[in-house]
Chains A and B, each alone.
Chain A
Amino acid sequence: MVEKISTAGKPIQCRAAVSRAAGEPLVIEEIMVAPPMPREVRIRIICTSLCHTDIGIWKLKDPPGMYPRIFGHEAIGVVESVGKGVDEVTEGDTVIPTFISDCGECEDCKSKKSNVCSKLPFKVSPWMPRHESSRFTDLNGEVIYHFMFVSSFTEYTVVDVAHVTKIDPSISPSRACLLSCGISTGVGAAWKTANVEAGSTVAIFGLGSIGLAVAEGARLCGATRIIGVDLNPDKFEVGKMFGVTDFINGGECGEKSVSQVINEMTGGGADYCFECIGSASLVNQAYFSCKNGFGKTVIIGVARPGSELGLSFHDVLHGGGKSIMGSMFGGIKAKTDIPILLQRYSDKELRLDEFVTHEIQFNDINKAFDLLLEGQCLRCVIWMDKHE
């Protein structure tokens, strides 16, 4: 057997799905991936899945849209090499990259109350977070931009160690990768951000992967009534798998608003309302579907840049103790909470399998975009080809 030559410290040539223009199919091409700088980790991606946020930014012609770019931020991989100053992980470790940093050093990361790292704050940046440069070039030497500090639509990527969580390698990668973004975001929103109490009523606007993950999280927290709102009636059957108990077709409420219907069904509003689409008007509906006095409205969906909430002063004041807040990555601290969620999956408490509705090869990555745009899938897992 030929001994494997170490690639550590050298650039790697590999295949990536490059987005060269807004809204156009990705092109599989050979690229160069530079070695990791200090505090960085180079990862061989095993598999990755498509998330709506990739699509949202992929469609943008103007910043934060930037081209050429390597999208993808929900993934799992194996460490190929590490840069200086990295002790947490080593070559061969199985890791999950996350778009949110968990540096462990700043006030936010040290606090139990916050998951928004202030040392490497979240932004839709074209660069690596710490050194604000790119590790990717195409074969013409042209810089290729990063996406959300992960860029997983490539055989190899470079990720800052604050964005890397080492995990148990025995978990099936097409399940574990879901905790890199979508399922963690949804489950966390119920578990961490809202801290859903047992016996409560929850309303979820939008039953995509995120909304269904919120339902799953609410179910695990012991919510007894989980109302799902969607325009697609098929989502009810799908939703039942994740704990949805009641369904409202947002397009069939007649003259009533969805919030009126929910207020009637619940006798005054749900305890927690989650907006999982990214629509300011739905955020309003969610707020008004929430019990006055102590309900929590949680915004998870990513709206168009600049879009305003449009709540009135009066609405907020008269909601009394009812509160509204956003949830980034479900309020989850990647390095402590992802292993907890993986354990709950292994213990057969947390459902992950049912989120994966499609699996394809890397060459067919554009099919994943088609499926998600047509609303025909939950998570489509994209497998990188194996390397010997």
Chain B
Amino acid sequence: MGEKTSTAGKPIQCRAAVSRAAGEPLVIEEIMVAAPMPHEVRIRIICTSLCQSDVTYWKMKDFPGIFPRILGHEAIGVVESVGEDVDEVTEGDTVIPTFMSDCGECVDCKSKKSNLCSKLPFKVSPWMPRYETSRFTDLKGEVLYHFLSVSSFSEYTVVDIAHVKKIDPSIAPNRACLLSCGVSTGVGAAWRTANVETGSTVVIFGLGSIGLAVAEGARLCGATKIIGVDLNPDKFEIGKKFGVTDFVNSGNCGDKSVSQVINEITGGGADYCFECVGLASLVQEAYACCRKGWGKTIVVGVDKPESKLSLTSFEVLTSGKTLMGSLFGGLKAKSDIPILLKRYADKELRLDEFVTHEVRFDDINKAFDLLIEGHCLRCVIWMDK
């Protein structure tokens, strides 16, 4: 057997699914991936999954939509090489990249209370976070933009060490990769952001992967009533797998608003309401059916940047309700992802049921079709070995 030539320190030519125009199918092409700079890690992707946020920015013609770009941010891989000043991981480690930084150095990362790293703050940037440059070029030498500091729709990618978490390699990659974004976001929103109490009532607007992960998180926290709201009645059967106890078809409420229906079912509102679609109007519905006095409304979905919330000062003043957002479920990647992986290994946290489809890298556009048609939860895309 020929000895494998080390690629460390050199550019790698490999295949990537490049998004060259808003809303158009990705094109599999050969690209060059530069060596990692200091504090960076080059990763060979094992598998990756499609998230609604990829679709949102893939469709966006104007900034922060930008092209040509390598999308994808939910993934798992193996470290191929590291840049200078990287001690946390080494070649061969199995790692999960995350769009949220956990630098461990700033006041926020050191605080128990915040997961919003201030050293490398979250933004939808076309660049690597620390140097604001790209590691990708096509074979003509044209720059390809990064996405959410991850860019996983590629056989190789480069990620800042603050966005990389080493994990136990024995966990099935098409399960572990889910904790890179979607399931962590949902479970975390219930567990960390809302801190759902045992015995409470929870309402979840939108039963996509995120909403179902919120249900799973609420179930693990001991919520006894988990009401799922969706336009698609099939979601109830699916939701039951993740702890949903009641279902409201928001298209079937007749003259009543969804919040009226929920206020009736719950006798005054839920303890926690999660918006997992990304619509200002639904945030308002969620706020209207969370219980006055102590209810919390948590915004998890992603709406268009300019979308405004219409709440009156009087309502906020007198209701005793709290409104908050949740980015990456309030999780600190490096400490919380291993906790969630262990809970999966201990058969407490469900991950398997989120993976409804698996495709090969060449068929990546099928994943987009499936998600846009609402026919899948997570579609895992396997890179070829």
Contact = CB atoms under 8 A, between A and B. Distances in A.
A203 B114 CA distance: 19
Contacts of A299: 313, 316-317
**Interface size class for chain B?**
35 or more
Contacts, number: 155
Interface in B109-166: 111, 113-116, 118, 122
Contact of B293 (A111, A283, A292, A320): A111
A85 interface: no
A317 B302 contact: yes
A320 B316 contact: no
B324 A309 contact: no
Given A122-B318, A299-B316, A313-B283, A291 B325 contact: no
A152 interface: no
A117 to B, nearest CB: 9
B293 A311 contact: no
B330 A321 contact: yes
Contacts of B301: 317
A27 interface: no
Contact of A311 (B111, B268, B308, B327): B308
A303 B313 contact: yes
Nearest to B197: A113
Given A268-B107, A303-B313, A308-B312, A323 B114 contact: no
B115 A313 contact: no
A322 B320 contact: no
DSSP class of B's interface residues: helix, strand, loop or mixed?
Answer: loop
Interface residues of A, number: 47
A317 B313 contact: no
Given A310-B308, A313-B299, A323-B322, A116 B293 contact: yes
A326 interface: yes
A118 B319 CA distance: 11
Contacts of A113: 293-294
Contact of B113 (A114, A294, A312, A318): A294
B316 A309 contact: yes
B305 interface: yes
Nearest to B320: A116
Interface string B253-278: 00000000000000010000000001
Contacts of A278: 313
A375 interface: no
B326 interface: yes
A309 B293 contact: no
Interface in A256-308: 267-268, 278, 280, 283, 291-294, 299-303, 305-308
Contacts of A116: 292-293, 318-320
8 contacts: A111-B294, A114-B292, A308-B313, A317-B301, A320-B193, A320-B330, A321-B114, A325-B322
Interface of A: 107-108, 111, 113-116, 118, 122, 267-268, 278, 280, 283, 291-294, 299-303, 305-314, 316-328, 331
Given A321-B113, A322-B324, 10 more contacts: A113-B294, A114-B294, A307-B312, A309-B309, A309-B316, A310-B309, A311-B308, A313-B299, A313-B307, A317-B302
Interface of B: 107-108, 111, 113-116, 118, 122, 192-193, 268, 278, 280, 283, 292-294, 296, 299-314, 316-327, 330
